[in-house]
Amino acid sequence: MSKLVIEGLRPLCGEINVQGAKNSALPILAASVAARGESVIHNCPRLSDIDVTIKILRYLGCKVTREGNTVTVDSTDIIRDDIPLELMREMRSSIIFLGALISAAGHARVSFPGGCDLGPRPIDIHLKALRKMGITVNEHRGFIDCTINKNIKGCKLALEFPSVGATENIILTAVKAQGRTIITNAAAEPEIIDLCDFLNSCGAKITTGDSGTVIIDGVSTLNGCSHCIIPDRIAAATYMCAGAVCGGDIVLNGGIPSHLSAVIPVFEECGCIIMQEQSKLRVIAPDRLKAPKFIRTMPYPGFPTDAQPPVMALATQCDGTTVFVENIFESRYNHISELIRLGAKIKLEGRVAVVEGNTSLYGTNIHAFDLRGAAALVTAALCAEGKTVIYDTDYLERGYEDFDVVLNSLGASVKKI
């Protein structure tokens, strides 16, 4: 496992390019197996999660080449419709291959995705929807076996929770079903829209309404296409936190304000000046940060759970107290113990974390436990006095492209060892 050595209290200034969205690239790469021929995916971030997805695509028989941020997938010679345990274990979100394989091969066999540091991560909503669409789903010895008996019939599906992964799996299954599938209370994240745009470019017929409704009219074939991944709103929010805690003035090239509609007001409440210049977002930190009073994570367009950890690190530096309520994941507070080791004053009661602001942080040795928690620790280390060593920072490579290089380009001192 790698570690980062960070010298804190350096002002951040400059312009960075926001990477392509991890949570858009993963489902789109999986979806390419359901499209015949070649798909060319641009602005694909270089991340370890993308590496695992490419490994899975090659295991299935796809030809995959990567040149910088462009990944080309040729799914002509798919030979398998299963994902082995070891590959599922490497990345739990590979459950997204379920719908893509059902569409591509009429059958899919994957192992139950493991839980992770955020909680059990069940897939009951996924499986209930597939069964309602007429797919035979057998769960046996930790494996899920999905078979289409006769043609999949489109149907109405009301999700009990707007699950991102379940929405994606249903869309990927319904694109080649017979007739119309209507999903209500679907996830509406920008990454879902990006997946639908990719599939429509492949010949699918998908429309997304404002109120979390997705309508899919099944088609017989999908053909590979060329697509450019949207910018990563969570990476953008993370760099905004880094700039804000360091009294910085940073420009995010590719930050899309509408994708950050619940995040930007939090930074404005902190006293940051946010300016939009064409496709650039400029964030200027105030001399003294004011605490955002109350942050509750919600499905999009609410405040994104993935931004909660780095924003919590920001909250430790703001005048006042911030109350966080994590409504999406059961235990997404693993970073709190490590922030406290740096000197933060945080009280945790179940899903509620109360962060006392205006705390001086002091560098020490700390450990990362998950991707966004690691981003919180880096954010805190940037405004801690002295040297902080963060262990187990391989997590960062799952979701942030060249995190250390980007921060150093803004004036930080981050050494990856």
The H-or-E segment that residue 323 falls in is strand 321-325
312 binds ligand EPZ (CB under 6 A): no
Of 194, 306, 326, 338, the one binding ligand EPZ by CB under 6 A:
306
- For the segment 344-383, give every residue that binds ligand EPZ (CB under 6 A): 371-372
- Residues 45, 25 contacting (CB under 8 angstroms): yes
Q: Using omega within 30 degrees of 0 as the cis cutoff, is the peptide bond preceding 257 cis?
A: no
Beta strands 107-111; 82-83: pairing state: parallel
Q: What are the distances in angstroms from CA 125 to CA 19, 26, 54, 121, 164?
A: 30, 20, 26, 11, 10
Q: Is 196 a known active-site residue?
A: no
Site string for ligand EPZ, 382-411 (x = CB under 6 A): -----------------x------------
Catalytic-role residue among 13, 116, 155, 228: 116
The residue range among 69-77, 121-129, 201-209, 268-276 that interacts with ligand EPZ, by the rule CB under 6 A, is 121-129
Give dist(CA 294, CA 323) in Å, integer. 5
Q: What are the distances in angstroms from CA 296 to CA 128, 266, 352?
A: 28, 11, 9
122 binds ligand EPZ (CB under 6 A): yes
Rounded to a whole number of angstroms, the minimum distance from the CB of residue 230 to ligand EPZ is 13
Burial pattern 141-165, b for ≥16 Cβ within 10 A else e, equals eeebebebeeebebbebebeebbbb
166 binds ligand EPZ (CB under 6 A): yes
Identity of the residue numbered 314: L
Tokens matching residue 134: 């007429």
Of 26, 34, 88, 246, the one binding ligand EPZ by CB under 6 A:
26
State the residue number with the nearest CB to ligand EPZ: 165
The residue range among 50-58, 123-131, 354-362, 401-409 that interacts with ligand EPZ, by the rule CB under 6 A, is 123-131
Residue number with CB closer to ligand EPZ (64 or 376): 376
Residue number with CB closer to ligand EPZ (10 or 332): 332
Q: Which residues bind ligand EPZ (CB under 6 A)?
A: 22-23, 26, 93, 119, 121-126, 161, 163-166, 187, 305-306, 328-329, 371-372, 399
